[in-house]
Every structure is written in structure tokens, then in C-alpha cells.
A and B are shown apart, each in its own frame.
Chain A
Amino acid sequence: MATEPNKNVPAGKGAPQIDFVPFIAGWLVPGAGHFLLRKWGRGALIAASIVGMFGCGLAMQGKVYTGVQDVLDILNMAGDMGNGILYLAARLFGWGGDQVQVTIADYGTRFIGVAGLLNIIAAVDAHRLRNGRKPL
């Protein structure tokens, strides 16, 4: 029984086009990925949650990581960078405490890091909505 030879498909053709714009927009500006998809309510709630959490972290004198001193700092730095433009603004304007001296400042540092991680989750959700993996 003869089998047909595989047809050569040019690279790049036939592959599904993946749109990363909502993901990148959602990472840079909290909620922007959902706004681009016209999910106004979800985007507003996500933006309010992430900006609110980041703001609470700053108000508690939480530390914004500017460099890596040891291995665990890499995780904190990655969490902070998830905040996108908020992290850049914090670095630019020198927001946040330099040294964690009281317990509540440690909580603030965690708030800032977790806000970044939640922002990444929201950006991935916008990406899934855009590519049809989650129903609009």
C-alpha cells in the first residue's frame, strides 16, 4: 500500500497567527489588554485591583527592587517588573522605601511583588481571550 509523500509547506505559512498585542499592552498598563478587547468592566476591575495593590504597597513603605543582591532577589525583581509602567514610574520617581525596617513595610514589599504577578496573570488572560482559548 503506497503512502503519499509529505508535502513541503513553506515555513510561516499555514501556522496560526498569534497576536501578542493584548498581552504586551496588559503587561505594560494594567487592564489595557482587556480594554483592547472591549472588556471594559473586567479591565477596570483589573486595573483598580493592581493599581490599588501597588499603591497600598507603596503607601506601606514597601521596597521597590532596583537590583539583585542574591538569588531570592531575582524572584522579587521579576515580581516587581510584572507591574510594567508602574514599576518604571516607581524607578523613575524613586517611589517606595529603601530599607524594610518595620513589619508593615515588609507587607508592602509583598503587595508590590504580588501586584506584578497578578498583572502577568491578567495579561495572559487577555492573550487567551484574543486567541480564542477563552470565550469572549
Chain B
Amino acid sequence: MHPSHFTAVLLFALFASTVFGITQRETPQKMLRYGIFCFVAFTGSAIVLSWLMYLIAR
């Protein structure tokens, strides 16, 4: 299995945010919202940091 780096980020964010959502909130609705928030935060921070590193390296 040789996923691209971004696919690896998406897989990591999916698995981690699922567990975070279930364990850190109490009701199913809050779990879903927190899981989506974690997924967006994981993926978004990876994209932002990647662009920052790209701009610094230039």
C-alpha cells in the first residue's frame, strides 16, 4: 500500500477523529459534530502547515 501523503493525512484524520468524537463527547449529535470538527482541524492544519513550509523553503 503506497498512498500519497495527502491520502495518508485523510486516513489518519478519519480514524483519529472517529475515536475522538466518540470518546470526548456524550451524546451522538455532539459526537458527530466534534468528530467532523476534529477531521476538519486535522486536515486543515496539515494543509496550512504544508503551505507554510513550502513558502518558507522557497
Contacts and interface: CB of A to CB of B under 8 A. Distances in A.
B11 interface: yes
Interface in A43-88: 45-46, 48-50, 52-53, 56, 59-60
A123 to B, nearest CB: 10
Contacts, number: 53
A91 interface: no
Q: Which DSSP category, helix, strand, loop or mixed, fits chain A's interface?
A: helix
Nearest to A56: B11
B11 A104 contact: no
A122 B18 CA distance: 11
A27 interface: no
16 contacts: A45-B22, A50-B15, A50-B19, A52-B15, A53-B11, A56-B1, A103-B5, A111-B8, A114-B16, A118-B15, A121-B20, A121-B23, A122-B19, A122-B22, A122-B23, A125-B22
Interface of B: 1-3, 5, 8, 11-12, 14-16, 18-20, 22-23, 26
